Amino acid sequence: MLDIRFVRENPDIVKENIKKKFQDEKLPLVDEAIKLDEDRRAYQQEADDLKAERNKISKQIGALMSQGKKEEAEEVKKQVKDHGDKIAELDKKQNEAAERLQEIMYVIPQIIDESVPIGKDDSENVEIQKYGDPVVPDYEIPYHTDIMESFKGIDLDAARRVAGNGFYYLMGDIARLHSAVIAYARDFMIDRGFTYVVPPFMIHGNVVQGVMSFPEMEAMMYKIEGEDLYLIGTSEHSMIGRFIDQQIQESELPLTLTSYSPCFRKEKGAHGVEERGVYRIHQFEKQEMIVVCKPEDSKMWYDKLWQNTVDLFRSMDIPVRTLECCSGDLADLKVKSCDVEAWSPRQKKYFEVGSCSNLGDAQARRLHIRIKGENGNYLAHTLNNTVVAPPRMLIAFLENHLQADGSVTIPEVLRPYMGGKEKLVP
């Protein structure tokens, strides 16, 4: 969310940013926001003037009564009441203008970084770099659920009976591999200096409003019926929400945190054949990384965060690439974002396994997260990135480590989490 003062002083920059995100329908909102802000401040000033005058004339009532000038005192009382009625009306108008202004400010997108490529949607995202050599073996790579079923490691039919489509049972070695990857990712991030956190898996509505845009909220979040609680779609939601209405000492920065949670998502809309199985589901687990830092440090941390994910996947011998998200693919709160994609030897292409985002001060402004510095207070910058998110990550793992005989090799870094096993045998 932008500062209304910035919008007021730089309307052309705000409008140009909206055009870059191909959201021209929002252009009139800029002028409406500026007008509402003018009205709100005018109502406030008029109310303040009336309050000052009311206080001044109120002091006359006692003096007039003591002088026996009852009629004059009653006339002043009437003026005080009239002032009070006008103030109440002005306060109502001011509140209505402020509420509408806030609605608009929640919708106007954050100013994107100048390095973001301009494009309408994810088809125009730009490849940055590849890491590792993508290999297509000379034997067939089955669909990921077929690989899992060869180990008796998944039961989708039972999950449909119990919970419907978009859920799964993982079992045996596949379930163990799932947990091993999460545990390894946790320790990987701890070794890089991040503090491990297990957060709440539900959050209040005001926190949801603070961490994401309305389209994201509608497409993702499950609400608990009859309560002001939502199931988190990622632990970033509750991790950033932890600092709502807080003032953080500058000396404590940066806050570098890695969190585990289950994640719950509606995943609305139809998806292609390659997104069946356990690719796009309603429930999964994830290890996340979050940074709260000074504004001048956020670009540096952005590069560190996506590099962590690349390093993690490469340590498990999985080829990956990074992809710069174009302007039209950025959520409204994001300043800059990139995806990490893993190689699929079966599809002979890369697919998304993680996303790194710099949100600037957008979340901090919405949640009132301020830094107390030597030269005054200021808004923090927040960033987040996926460390690893099974079971989607398992797709990349199984495809890249599947052998011709149907076995799956276990890279050395994962063996301590798999009881020392070097491979899985169907």
Is there a contact between 353 and 341 (Cβ–Cβ < 8 Å)? yes
* Residue 216: per-residue pLDDT: 81
Burial class (CB in 10 A: 0-12, 13-18, 19+), 209: middle
Same domain, 199 and 241: yes
Among the candidates 72, 107, 142, a domain finishes at 107
Task: Say which DSSP state 402 is in.
Answer: B
Dihedral (Cα; 149, 150, 153, 159), 10-degree rounding: 10
pLDDT mean by block of 10 residues, the chain; 426 residues: 95 98 97 97 93 83 75 81 91 96 96 97 97 96 96 96 94 97 98 98 95 84 95 96 97 98 81 68 95 98 98 98 97 97 97 96 97 94 96 95 98 98 96
In a domain, 262, yes or no: yes
CATH number, residue 100: 1.10.287.40
Burial class (CB in 10 A: 0-12, 13-18, 19+), 332: buried
Same domain, 193 and 258: yes
Number of domains comprising the chain: 2
Same domain, 214 and 155: yes
* Residue 66: per-residue pLDDT: 73
Same domain, 37 and 167: no
In a domain, 246, yes or no: yes
Among the candidates 59, 84, 107, a domain finishes at 107
CATH number, residue 242: 3.30.930.10
- The parent domain of residue 14 ranges over 4-107
DSSP notation for 244-287: TT-EEEGGG--EEEEEEEEEE----S---GGGTTTTS-SEEEEE
Same domain, 273 and 323: yes
What pairing do the DSSP bridges indicate for beta strands 370-373 and 247-249?
A: parallel
Query: Residue 55 and residue 77: Cα distance in Å, rounded?
Result: 11
* Residue 271: per-residue pLDDT: 52
* Residue 268: per-residue pLDDT: 65
Among the candidates 107, 136, 168, a domain finishes at 107
Is there a contact between 387 and 304 (Cβ–Cβ < 8 Å)? no
Same domain, 83 and 156: no
pTM as predicted: 0.90
Contacts of 208-212 spanning 24+ positions with Cβ under 8 A: 208/237, 209/106, 209/366, 210/240, 210/241, 210/244, 210/363, 210/366, 210/367, 211/236, 211/237, 211/240, 211/241, 211/333, 211/363, 211/366, 211/367, 212/237, 212/331, 212/333
* Residue 270: per-residue pLDDT: 47
In a domain, 31, yes or no: yes
State the maximum Cα–Cα separation within the chain, in Å, rounded to a whole number: 108
Same domain, 126 and 258: yes
In a domain, 345, yes or no: yes
In a domain, 375, yes or no: yes
In a domain, 115, yes or no: no
CA distances from 30 to 10, 47, 70 (A): 10, 26, 53
* Residue 69: per-residue pLDDT: 78
CA atoms within 13 A on the CB side of 82: 8
